[in-house]
Structure 1
Amino acid sequence: MSSALAVASTLLLPIAVGLLLPLPPAGAARGSLTRGADIAVEDHATDFLVSPDGTFACGFYNVSPTVFTVSVWFARAAGRTVVWTAAPGRPVHSRGARLALDRRGGALVLTDYDGAVVWNSTAQAASASRARLHDTGNLVLEDGHGRALWQSFDSPTDTLLPVQRFTAARHLVSRGGRGRLLAAGYYSLGFSDYAMLSLFYDNHNFSSIYWPNPYNNYVANKRKIYNFTREAALDALGQFFSSDAAGFVAADLGAGVRRRLTLDSDGDLRLYSLDAATGAWTVAWMAFGNPCIIHGVCGANAVCLYAPAPACVCAPGHERADAGDWTRGCRPVFRRDCSRPTKLAALPHTDFWGYDLNDGEIVPFHACAQRCLATCACVAFQHKQNMECYLKSVLFNGRTFPGLPGTVYIKVPADFDMPEFHVRQWREHGGGLAIDEDIPRCDVANGGEEVLLNFSTHNGPRDVGKAVWPYLYGFLSALLVIEAVVIGFGCWLFSSRGLFRPSRVWAIEEGYKLITNNFQRYTYSEIKRATGNFTDMIGSGGSGVVYKGILEDDRVVAVKVLKNVSQSEQEFQSELSVIGRIYHMNLVRMWGCCSEGKRRILVSEHIENGSLAKMLFDREPSDAVLGWNQRFQIALGVAKGLAYLHSECLEWIIHCDMKPENILLDKDLEPKITDFGLAKLLNRDGSDANLSRIRGTRGYMAPEWVSSLPITEKVDVYSYGVVLLELVKGVRISDWVIHGVRFSDMDTRMVVKAIHDEMETSDHERWVKELIDSRLNGEFNPVQAKAMLKIAVSCLEEDRSKRPNMSSVLQALMSVEDEAR
């Protein structure tokens, strides 16, 4: 019963919104799009592709009267359920947009009202004959013999359809929640670094894996790791198979049912079945019956209660950051000051998952409390009945329910007045959960355990003391009102009295682009304020200057001001086009941008320890030297980041300027790859004309940069090989001395040849020791060192076909990660 109620809110939303959108008339469509033909956005209601059996349709989908996407949807489902979208974060306008099968290049091309290319199918096949929508929901570009040259199944958005293969190179990314329907959501499904199918949460401040259960190891989760096949699929019967054993079956297992596996905006992965008679969807399987387990449901400093739909409350001493969006969490109403006396506010049967400052030692309560009180970075601690102590640096992923072991104690100022607000939870005899805040109709005497949680009343009881259903109805009503306002505004906008006339379509470009932006837009004055008028420069390079800044929410950021407007505009657009697809701990996160006049500015997270180049090459003799284990973990982390860029992103991405200056180290010396100013999306056939104008950094450039060969991801592999050698030796490769001979940066091949000859002819121990940084004083792991040198030599092959890919490099490094010295 509780699961059904939780699902109801998910089902009502797309149906309610969909009813506002007109359904295309049946039969007024075409079976294929031939070479040179196009579909105009103005004809979206009558001109679209349909699958032979009529189940799927593809064409312009009206998000609002002025905003359209090119999508594939279930034509027979209520609300036109979308299963795939081309460039989901970049819609087009309602006038002048076209989807065409290019007569010359043989690719599907989506252009906006001004002729700008928004998306193309990346297939550069002169033999492309037509685009056709198959009965499986797959949009396919075919040659004259029906062979597939490109297909939408290779680049899923938030939905997986039966018989659609899911591989390491693919991700499902949820859509944004309220107010962010076109933006990418915070949730994604993909294979982790350990080849385990996982659900990821990343809101650009916090990131974590929340499925399978992060509390358990892979054995307890019944998963397999290190199976680098990394494939999954949903079959026609409703069975889901994965290479890591993450399988499940539909409740209505059997043939003849239309299904879809969708990562919804609330972070739950659900398998839906279509009722052919009514067009309604039912849930046949879901990853989470209790939504409170999903990370980020209530945001920071908030606790999720399941009753039987999720309800959020702020932690003691906190208030809501955004009255309309719980995912933004709560903010403290007091000032954190470690010099002031503090007291503890208890939250029984509560947990905030992750962000621990320790490993959960077994200590008495008073010792645990003393450690937290004495540690400024500790904002709270959890103490369990078996005396496990967890110090928390962040209050995130909070949840509470009867039987959850342990109590969380939050640090608040000793003079802070917190009126008590009692939230009662209990377990019914029938096993269901309920919640009540002093409501007479609920009686603890009916059975079970009562738990009292003290929450701050700074939110006001109206936020946490009401039943769940009014919230649901209110939320749906608000959505309908917002949709009506958007429609009304759109009609006024293009009326004779509106701001813009139909003949001035170009003038509203900023208006409709702004509502689809995935990034925080900052004004130039905000950037000046954050950087103190650009006073604290922390780096510079060929594409711009980087300053340190502090935003109004106290986040420390890196602000990159791009140089040379004509060039920077291209770099700016390039970075923004790929950044929304980046989800990895070894890549710097982009938080926002500024684009005013000729100014192009990027705002990203600030990494505390600066670049690897600074830590490795620019240290004073008295400074601490990077230890061997730190160097190996840096090599491993960079390999993970590059492997993600090359094979696990929604698109293939090459960095093109991999060097120690573009590897930043955080406070734990975890590496993060930065500076995507030179990065371009790699076409599936390995060609990209734009890459001919890009150049890397001397000493790290692969030989093909100076030849006529097309640039592939193997240029990054080459640069990574140079970085590996420098990590081992501790000096620039141009400064290497082997057997008394000094090499210049033009002779990297001579360094490689010398190392290769040593590997072939000399005693392993001797030649490895000779190549290790002397500052380590012999403290290194010879097995790992030998592996790193061999990998580096293979990466530096002049013939790029002989170089390994980054996934193979990663596997080789991981195979020696646990080697004892």
Structure 2
Amino acid sequence: MSTTCTLLLTTLVFLLPLPPLAVAARASLPRGAAIAVEDYATDFLVSPDGTFACGFYNVSPTVFSVSVWFARAAARTVVWTAAPARPVHSTGARLSLDRRSGALVLTDFDGTVVWNSTYVAGDAARARLLDTGNLVLEGGGNGAGETVWQSFDSPTDTLLPGQRFTAARHLVSRGGRGRLLAAGYYSLGFSDYAMLSLFYDNHNFSSIYWPNPYNNYVANKRKIYNFTREAELDALGQFISSDDAGFVAADLAAGDGVRRRLTLDADGDLRLYSLDAATGTWTVTWMAFANPCTIHGVCGANAVCLYGPSPACVCAPGHERADAGDWTKGCLPAFRRDCSGKTKLVALPHTDFWGYDLNDGEILPFRECARRCHVTCSCVAFQHKQNMECYLKSVLFNGRTFPGLPGTVYMKVPADFAMPDELLHVHQWRTHGGGLVIDEDIPTCDSVADAELLLNVSTHDGGRDVGKAVWPYMYGFLSALLIVEAVVIAFGCWLFSSRGLFRPSRVWAIEEGYKLITNNFQRYTYSEIKRATNNFTDVIGSGGSGVVYKGILEDDRVVAVKVLRNVLQSEQEFQSELSVIGRIYHMNLVRMWGCCSEGKHRILVSEHIENGSLAKMLFDDREETPSDATVVLGWNQRFQIALGVAKGLAYLHTECLEWIIHCDMKPENILLDKDLEPKITDFGLAKLLNRDGSDANLSRIRGTRGYMAPEWVSSLPITEKVDVYSYGVVLLELVKGVRISEWVIYGVKLADMDTRMVVKAIREKMETSDQERCVKDLMDHRLNGEFNHAQAKAMLKIAVSCLEEDRGKRPNMSSVLQTLMSVEEEAR
């Protein structure tokens, strides 16, 4: 087991392959020069000895950041990132040394400044990457070679040898799975007492968890109120701090020839890594926590971290996971807390929930401690230790349990609440010599099946069990401890994959790599949303999933606020939308700014798109005579809308790290900005599609009548081809300017849409010799004959191919996009 863990902990993985150090790699970036994101694989800075590289780092095929990474590691290891929470697009982004200001400037595809080095003195001559991994700006003129700005002054999650750490600087962990470009909950810095400390802050709970918060500074061997507030890691692997915090690498004897880094990992553990030059892999040579369960926030609220000796999370009795994919969100009670009702206690031996005490640990007998918790409404549990210390708890947070941990936690639950008494029996126990022994060996990898881990607990009414042995209560916990170890051994080979036991892990050293882009939403309160929308007065849209209001945030941004309907259904939809939003970034997709999940309210906040939906602009007032107040989309605008929507869908289907199907593509879900650039919105029905094409949940999703592919009503699996079908309908409506359900075919108005008749009629017309006449007959009469014949003919042919009943005959969106782009080129 220890060998497996050691191997798993030896490498911090960023899985994207390292571009070769090509001839085009630069030694410096002179003033006025720039690096283009399109040339990321060949155009970047390298340090003189080739150890470090700096340039555009491909988070995903369409998402990039500007980073410094180890170039000699087997897998790239990022040590610094400019604006880590704000990636840029794969097209049009630039990193330049501005000719006028002398600052490094990172701009996105639209020219927006994402980050700059803040240096504006005006005499920077070049940017260089040093052998230490420090990206610097060097002055020119009389100050030639002088460093006027350096990345070492603004660390992200890693400290390199020789990089001074001061009171003004912090290391901030990455956000873990789903939030890898967002800031994590953990940080390293100097506290108010000038002690170098690790902090946890999830915006609801915050605490210091290193050094040991149970101890005072003397017990932790630290100095307080030191005025220097500096720390540094040297090349030998020694870390020293002004508050006497210090440690050394296990391979200190190897000397200064070893490349090292000190990283605050996403799981909250501070680790020192050494690079094996022969293999290019990393080895952990020191870590702050041997027992990851002592890291705060590992399992979230109302959850317990089991350590036996590998960590895993389990909900406290009577609680259920808040998010099946994220333990940091903790668990929610399956019962209602009511201060007026009768309660009973559930014992959790050898367990602690650190912090959030309602008292200072008075010395009280068990009965009095229990009575105080019973009569105190805010008390959800209490801990009673053998020395009669009593701690009343207002929140169950930072939970952990392992043999020898002093004290028992007693949870307060309704008297009529039925506690689970099931336990997964993998081991048989018997008493021997006053202790417990295991009758059978721990099963091997081949003999353990997938199973749900349940926690066995005992219930009682308060004081009846005082003085009884704790062994009856320990059976479940001790069994669970060894069960966890068996499960970890059995599934160690995939523990850190997306399906791992601890997902997303804040307990392990290994990061899975940049699988997802930022999910860094602003969390708004319901009162903030009400103020922004003027108490929900300006309705700009509505649909089956909710109503959309116009709002203005405190920073004067105009936003669209979507209030989801029906709490029971909207919770699932809310989580679905958040899951999808966290994975997308494209100019033809609506950007999400934040969300509100407070009580029964489920609200999404997105950018406001000025011109509303394509449906409104294409269909509203169609039969009226156009006037100054009525805008008729011109042909070029329609073609550009078709092209933009194709780009957005192609991105969703093929360029995201996981395939995404929209499932409800229609003109109402295509918004037009001030330049009539299309942006796809409303991902309420979207689901992620596995790359093997299997996702049983998709069979329950439905789109909108008239845009639904035939497989929706069959038993066929749902694939991205349902979006291709819907896109074909949208193309026909762009050409004709009429909803397809209102077309007149063979003299019959299709009140109930029959796409087969439409497709058959178009095919027949296109097969005639007079194709130009055919295309003209199918055009929107409001265009008055002003359209590009080649583009219109191509759109009609694409639409017909997209509307094939046999999905295997439909093109994919990438080929559709290529066809449209080639037609656009020919028209220029």
**Structure 1 length normalisation: TM-score?**
0.57
Contact 2:373 2:380 in 1 (8 A): yes
Alignment correspondent of 2:520 = 518
Cα separation, partners in 2 of 1:461 and 1:364, compared to 1, 3 Å:
closer
Contact 1:299 1:397 in 2 (8 A): yes
Q: CA deviation at 1:177?
A: 1.1
Amino acid at match of 2:184: G
CA deviation string 1:329-369 (max 9, x = no partner):
11100011111111000000000000000000000000000
Cα separation, partners in 2 of 1:441 and 1:473, compared to 1, 3 Å:
closer
Cα separation, partners in 2 of 1:105 and 1:11, compared to 1, 3 Å:
same
Structure 1 counterpart SS, 2:498:
helix
Cα separation, partners in 2 of 1:386 and 1:461, compared to 1, 3 Å:
closer
Alignment correspondent of 1:609 = none
Q: CA deviation at 1:226?
A: 0.3
Alignment correspondent of 2:322 = 321
Aligned pairs for 1:622-633 (under 5 A) are: none
**Cα distance in 2 between the residues matched to 1:285 and 1:130:** 37
Q: CA deviation at 1:411?
A: 0.5
**Cα distance in 2 between the residues matched to 1:513 and 1:138:** 27
Cα separation, partners in 2 of 1:39 and 1:523, compared to 1, 3 Å:
farther
Matched, 1:274 2:285: no
Q: CA deviation at 1:21?
A: 2.5
Alignment correspondent of 2:197 = 198
CA deviation string 1:484-521 (max 9, x = no partner):
xxxxxxxxxxxxxxxxxxxxxxxxxxxx9994242246
Contact 1:273 1:284 in 2 (8 A): yes
Contact 1:21 1:62 in 2 (8 A): no
Contact 2:137 2:150 in 1 (8 A): yes
Over the matched positions of the two proteins, sequence identity in percent amounts to 74
CA deviation string 1:22-44 (max 9, x = no partner):
43335541100001111000000
CA deviation string 1:180-231 (max 9, x = no partner):
1111111000000111000000111111000000000000000000012110
Contact 1:420 1:454 in 2 (8 A): no
Q: CA deviation at 1:9?
A: 4.0
**Cα distance in 1 between the residues matched to 2:170 and 2:373:** 39
Q: CA deviation at 1:464?
A: 6.6
Contact 2:321 2:332 in 1 (8 A): yes
**Cα distance in 2 between the residues matched to 1:435 and 1:89:** 51
Amino acid at match of 2:21: P
Contact 2:59 2:515 in 1 (8 A): no
Cα separation, partners in 2 of 1:127 and 1:157, compared to 1, 3 Å:
same
Contact 1:347 1:409 in 2 (8 A): yes
Q: Give the counterpart of 2:58 among 59, 62, 83.
A: 62
Alignment correspondent of 1:367 = 368
Matched, 1:181 2:180: yes
Aligned pairs for 1:223-622 (under 5 A) are: 223-253=222-252, 254-422=255-423, 441=443, 452-453=473-474, 467-478=487-498, 515-520=517-522, 527-528=529-530, 533=535, 594-597=605-608
Contact 1:57 1:74 in 2 (8 A): yes
**Cα distance in 1 between the residues matched to 2:185 and 2:155:** 16
Cα separation, partners in 2 of 1:314 and 1:543, compared to 1, 3 Å:
closer
Amino acid at match of 1:141: L
Q: CA deviation at 1:526?
A: 11
Contact 1:521 1:592 in 2 (8 A): no
Amino acid at match of 2:300: G
Cα separation, partners in 2 of 1:111 and 1:369, compared to 1, 3 Å:
same
| RMSD (Å) for aligned C-alpha atoms | 4.0
Q: CA deviation at 1:421?
A: 4.1
Structure 2 counterpart SS, 1:367:
helix
Bigger relative contact order, structure 1 or 2 (CA pairs below 8 A, ≥6 apart): 2
Contact 2:161 2:261 in 1 (8 A): yes
**Cα distance in 2 between the residues matched to 1:409 and 1:30:** 63
Structure 1 counterpart SS, 2:420:
coil
CA deviation string 1:141-160 (max 9, x = no partner):
00121100000000000000
Contact 1:313 1:463 in 2 (8 A): no
Contact 2:442 2:486 in 1 (8 A): no
Alignment correspondent of 2:132 = 136
Contact 1:364 1:387 in 2 (8 A): yes
Cα separation, partners in 2 of 1:308 and 1:440, compared to 1, 3 Å:
closer
Amino acid at match of 2:186: Y
Alignment correspondent of 1:102 = 98
**Structure 2 length normalisation: TM-score?**
0.56
Structure 2 counterpart SS, 1:368:
helix
Q: Give the counterpart of 1:116 among 112, 118, 123.
A: 112
Alignment correspondent of 2:85 = 89
Cα separation, partners in 2 of 1:523 and 1:381, compared to 1, 3 Å:
closer
Q: CA deviation at 1:385?
A: 0.2
**Cα distance in 1 between the residues matched to 2:360 and 2:161:** 42
**Aligned residues, how many?**
508
Contact 2:25 2:42 in 1 (8 A): yes
**After alignment, is 512-521 or 38-47 more displaced?**
512-521
Contact 2:428 2:440 in 1 (8 A): no
Contact 1:305 1:312 in 2 (8 A): yes
Cα separation, partners in 2 of 1:246 and 1:465, compared to 1, 3 Å:
closer
**Cα distance in 1 between the residues matched to 2:162 and 2:58:** 28
Amino acid at match of 2:298: V
Cα separation, partners in 2 of 1:86 and 1:383, compared to 1, 3 Å:
same
Contact 1:100 1:109 in 2 (8 A): yes
Amino acid at match of 2:147: A
**Cα distance in 2 between the residues matched to 1:312 and 1:542:** 39
Q: CA deviation at 1:125?
A: 2.0
Contact 1:86 1:119 in 2 (8 A): yes
Q: CA deviation at 1:162?
A: 0.2
Cα separation, partners in 2 of 1:196 and 1:35, compared to 1, 3 Å:
same
**Cα distance in 2 between the residues matched to 1:542 and 1:520:** 13
Q: CA deviation at 1:527?
A: 3.8
Amino acid at match of 1:468: V
**Cα distance in 1 between the residues matched to 2:405 and 2:244:** 28
Q: Give the counterpart of 1:45 among 34, 41, 44.
A: 41
Contact 2:307 2:481 in 1 (8 A): no
**Cα distance in 2 between the residues matched to 1:336 and 1:23:** 56
Contact 2:9 2:283 in 1 (8 A): no
CA deviation string 1:513-539 (max 9, x = no partner):
99424224679999459999479xxxx
Contact 2:172 2:183 in 1 (8 A): yes
User: Which runs of 5 or more residues in structure 1 are unaligned?
Assistant: 428-433, 443-448, 481-511, 554-575, 580-590, 600-821
**Cα distance in 2 between the residues matched to 1:164 and 1:414:** 58
Contact 2:443 2:486 in 1 (8 A): no
Structure 1 counterpart SS, 2:256:
coil
Amino acid at match of 2:95: L
CA deviation string 1:545-565 (max 9, x = no partner):
9xxxx9989xxxxxxxxxxxx
Contact 1:190 1:197 in 2 (8 A): yes
**Cα distance in 1 between the residues matched to 2:96 and 2:114:** 12
User: Which runs of 5 or more residues in structure 2 are unaligned?
Assistant: 430-435, 445-469, 501-513, 538-551, 558-562, 569-591, 595-601, 611-828
Q: CA deviation at 1:473?
A: 3.5
Contact 2:18 2:76 in 1 (8 A): no
**Cα distance in 2 between the residues matched to 1:115 and 1:544:** 21
Contact 1:521 1:594 in 2 (8 A): no
